[in-house]
Structure 1
Amino acid sequence: MRTDTKMATVAFILLCHKDREAITAQVERLTAAGDKVAVHFDARASQSDYEALRSNFVGNPDVAFAKTRVKCGWGEWSLVAATLIAVRTAFEAFPEATHFYLLSGDCMPIKSAQYVHEYLDARDADIIESFDFFESDWIKTGLREERLIYRHIFNERTQPRRYYAAIKLQQVLGLKRAIPADLRMMIGSQWWCLRRRTIEKLLQFVDQNKGIERFFRTTWIPDETFFQTLVRHLVAEVEIDCRTPTFLMFSDYGMPVTFYNDHFDLLLAQDYLFARKISAEAEELKARLGAVYAEVDRNFSVSDEGRRLHGFLTGRGRIGQRFAPRFWERDATIGRERTLMLVTCKKWHVAKRLLDRVGMATNLPAIEFLFDEGSTPLPDLGGIEATLDKRSRHRRAMVRMLFDYYETDRMILCLDPSRLHLLRDFFSDRCETRLLEIDCQYGDDYLQGHARRVGLASEMTTEANFAALLPTLRNDLTREIEAIRDERFPEFFRIKETAAPEENAAPLAKFLGIEHEKALDIARTDYLFAD
């Protein structure tokens, strides 16, 4: 709680997209300490959830909602746009706010509110990671300068084929673009705490320099470069505390570490104010941290060994000397709080089209035939993704790492119908698993092409040989699908090539967990089943 001493007043910028009850508790916790909250609730989330959340704070002067809701996509400009909208809302609604602190719905305090206020009062600085984009080693894997010099129109997680094809095309055509000459590009964590005068300068700069926004709109993962670059451009270096105020760690494979109930003491000992990501399952941890935030005059013994300890242990794992099991041996589950949606179809091109449309309509991470096609576009996951054999052998770890990489709790994968053993394994996991069968028609032309693709026929195969081969192929395809249906998986859905879009919309809506109208729009894709 607040003391009589004059302290900083924080306007928390809360980016969230789910779990209305948890968001409500988080807002109430922050405002109870005398601070303010501006909420941006992702436009992709349920309108009813948004309205219910707003109704919880009607008439509360300490809570404001972003004037416009943005459909946010991982790695996209939309995350920066949502942040800017919420920042403007907070700046106008809370003139008494001295600091603006960016948080997510997965964040929790690891110090008391009193400690946070005293910490901010003790330093006249902006707390934000801001390292040189080209000279630092902040980016561990994946694209580097390509994030900036090429235009990113498609999203890697929802349209990976188009994403990488667009980069390749720009490389072939030599379509590099210049980085704004007057800006030194910086990079760092998305999570920061900025002073009011810095926010004012930043908003004015953005309003007066529209070209800056145009450039960042088509960079990749701009939430790690936009604020980091502009703050360094507008604020003297001596007034920047080059660190994030929020504690977060990454595994030796570049994945964000999730905290659970037994991390309470570790978190309190870190020299940070908040932490992310807190597991949705860690109810005890969240309750204990919430209680700590309300305490007065609590002393915190800060040892700050978290990253060093984690780095040491994961480093031993890299060279095979860690006593504990490796990640894929230890984490034998995808996660109880996650939803894995599997699409199975023998016509791979049909499944890929569906994933492409779903990705555009819902922003769900959509990965094609991960266990069937070695060329499937994938992020760098430290080598576990290198071969089909590795992916299949460590399948649960592979999928868990993809959930972590995309920072999501819902994801879609394609599987060939022959992968019944994988379907059984995923349905036995603690995660919620759903299966969608795309029931296609297999004409003779398609079966002949399939026979050539799998090496059973060639351009020289005679019609007589095809006449003998095709019935067997058709029966094989039928047996694979019947074997899946015989499993009677609990959440099994089917759309049919022979059905009208209106008929396919209902199972599609249930499978994806989306509104009927959006599912109908996907089902009406006129080229979906074309060969």
Structure 2
Amino acid sequence: MAKIAYILLCHKDPEAIVLQAERLTAAGDYISIHFDARAPLKDFRTIRDALGDNPNVTFARPRLRCGWGEWSLVQATLNAVEAAVDAFPRATHFYMLSGDCMPIKSAEYTHRFLDTRDVDFIESFDFFDSDWIKTGMKEDRLIYRHFLNERKHKRLFYAAVETQRRFGLKRAIPADIQVQIGSQWWCLRRRTIEWILDFIRKRRDVLRFFRTTWIPDETFFQTLVRHLVPEREIEARSLTFLMFSDYGMPVTFYNDHYDLLLSQDYLYARKISPEAEDLKARLGTLYAAHDVEFRVSNEGRSLYKFLTGRGRIGRRFGMRFWETESSLGRERELLIVISKKWHVAKRLLSHIRQITDVPAIEYLFNEVDTPLPDLGGIQSTLEKRARHRRALMRMLFDYYATDRMIVCMDPDSLDLMQDFASDRSKTRFLKLSCQFSDDYLIGHARRIGLAGEQTGQVTLDRLLPTIRNDMVYEADRIRDTGFDHLYQVREASTAQENASALADFLSIPYDQALSLAQVEDLFAD
């Protein structure tokens, strides 16, 4: 009978991970856990202390700091796979999971399903000939070397690609390798896993190549399986059910999706909402159940398309699907930098990026050219961003795989600030109080169309007091809202005074905050 070693990559919610491991191992299966080294050590200790005595649980070593799109995700998977191969000699299959996956069939059904199909389940399509990649770079993922994380160092990432392109620094793909692409949620037989581990020990050239590709978790295993396993023994599909919204983000499942999930021709589903406690409990009980009959109708995607086209309440112009859960999430923290002088806020953000791992986005609600990932169109115009502000922010939190994010806003965006402040997430504000010279105000008037190059001095003299008073009014409105967590960095204050505000706002040590406050010419025009 099939015995599954689950390969679990996770980075948060230790209590849920413990429950997941206990449910899977109670049915006689195994689990190898890689818990991201970026996460708090106390969370890992919670998992290890709870599961350390369970003989069907092992842990990947060493723990790595993983980043989306990086080789670190593949290396973490390999570490977990090697730990499972050594710890569980009776495991017949290795199944890749994430912390928000749950079984949608019983263990009995799952084992019988794998026993009757002597194949590997992995999406693997030709990298160049298929249309699996819908947007973004394609060939450049492979032919150029990628040492930076696109999400953390976007400008440097693309600058490095452009430099390699300019100087013709293309590299060859290993001659005997036909690169494949597909979902990272696979289920492989033990023999295939052993072949892969043996292959990478012998072919260090292939390993070196993939180490500097971009998003290798979508190509590494997919390519090696096709290279090592006869085609007749590969079923190019995932056994994990997931759907994507119109905006290209994974659909989240809630308590009312139980019956829909069970009817799909898959063994697992991703991704289950952390708040769907009832759904997770029912699916956990289901995995241990016996003699359950499943009526597979596989209508999930067509039903989802039908419902979202009409709103979850059944009307075409009813509530849109992203509005059914409008919160950013209780565990998330949004940090908003407020400044009329956009270049000052951007300058501060560039220095914050150097000392923290927190994703920092510039004036996304004020400046259409702000660099943003492709989120399926919701980010394409300022109007869409403002109208679907919470949906946009949730997508960005998910895209950057983070619970903390920094954004910049103009002081006139008070309605956006109030909306985010009313959310169940944690919201903090940092007001940059700058001094405004007449020359700056004249330039500002020209930038926003209140004045032109030919506007006379008399007109400008009449206009300047109004603009200055308007800026004072905006600052007073923000102060009068009574935001719970509003901090100020003032151009007229000392570096020590500003450091205290920065330390509280960013939750960083005072000495790091002082280095930010002491940035030369921070407020310079």
- TM-score, length of structure 2 as denominator length: 0.87
Q: Does residue 76 in structure 1 map to residue 70 in structure 2?
A: yes
User: Secondary structure of the equivalent of 1:259?
Assistant: coil
Mapping of residues 38-437 of structure 1, within 5 Å: 38-311=32-305, 323=316, 325=318, 327=320, 330-331=323-324, 333-337=326-330, 338-359=332-353, 362-437=356-431
Structure-1 separation of matches of 2:234 and 2:453: 67
Greater shift after overlay, 76-85 or 425-434? 425-434
- TM-score, length of structure 1 as denominator length: 0.86
- Does the Cα contact within 8 Å between 2:496 and 2:514 map onto a contact in 1? no
User: Secondary structure of the equivalent of 1:297?
Assistant: coil
Greater shift after overlay, 27-36 or 494-503? 494-503
1:25–1:467 CA distance, 2 compared to 1 (3 A): same
Corresponding residue of 1:4: none
Greater shift after overlay, 129-138 or 346-355? 346-355
The alpha carbon displacement at 1:156 in A equals 3.1
- Does the Cα contact within 8 Å between 1:107 and 1:278 map onto a contact in 2? yes
1:163-206 deviation digits (Å, cap 9, x = unpaired): 34444444444444333332211111111111122112212222
Greater shift after overlay, 298-307 or 502-511? 502-511
1:243-297 deviation digits (Å, cap 9, x = unpaired): 1111111012211100001000011111111111111111111111111111122
- Does the Cα contact within 8 Å between 2:338 and 2:431 map onto a contact in 1? yes
- Does the Cα contact within 8 Å between 1:331 and 1:397 map onto a contact in 2? no
Q: Which runs of 5+ in 1 are unaligned?
A: 1-6
Structure-2 separation of matches of 1:525 and 1:111: 58
1:344–1:56 CA distance, 2 compared to 1 (3 A): same
- Does the Cα contact within 8 Å between 2:348 and 2:522 map onto a contact in 1? no
1:449-506 deviation digits (Å, cap 9, x = unpaired): 6566556788899999999987776655444333222211123344556777776666
Structure-2 separation of matches of 1:461 and 1:411: 41
The alpha carbon displacement at 1:104 in A equals 0.8
- Does the Cα contact within 8 Å between 1:80 and 1:222 map onto a contact in 2? yes
1:205–1:359 CA distance, 2 compared to 1 (3 A): farther
1:80–1:492 CA distance, 2 compared to 1 (3 A): farther
1:397–1:92 CA distance, 2 compared to 1 (3 A): same
Structure-2 separation of matches of 1:52 and 1:495: 39
Corresponding residue of 2:11: 17
1:262–1:162 CA distance, 2 compared to 1 (3 A): same
User: Secondary structure of the equivalent of 2:51?
Assistant: coil
Greater shift after overlay, 64-73 or 52-61? 52-61
Structure-2 separation of matches of 1:525 and 1:166: 30
Q: Which runs of 5+ in 2 are unaligned?
A: none
Structure-2 separation of matches of 1:45 and 1:405: 17
Structure-2 separation of matches of 1:262 and 1:499: 54
Residue 25 of structure 2: which of 22, 28, 31 is its match? 31
1:311-340 deviation digits (Å, cap 9, x = unpaired): 4555x579xx98364747745724334433
The alpha carbon displacement at 1:123 in A equals 1.7
User: Secondary structure of the equivalent of 1:401?
Assistant: helix
1:311–1:219 CA distance, 2 compared to 1 (3 A): farther
Structure-1 separation of matches of 2:49 and 2:371: 43
The code of the aligned residue for 2:80 comes to: A
- Does the Cα contact within 8 Å between 2:328 and 2:390 map onto a contact in 1? no
1:279–1:20 CA distance, 2 compared to 1 (3 A): same
1:180-233 deviation digits (Å, cap 9, x = unpaired): 332211111111111122112212222322332333233222211111111111
1:295–1:509 CA distance, 2 compared to 1 (3 A): farther
State the aligned residue count: 521
1:393-439 deviation digits (Å, cap 9, x = unpaired): 33233323333444544433221222112111222234433323344
The code of the aligned residue for 1:77 comes to: W
User: Secondary structure of the equivalent of 1:106?
Assistant: coil
- Does the Cα contact within 8 Å between 1:246 and 1:273 map onto a contact in 2? yes
User: Secondary structure of the equivalent of 2:22?
Assistant: helix
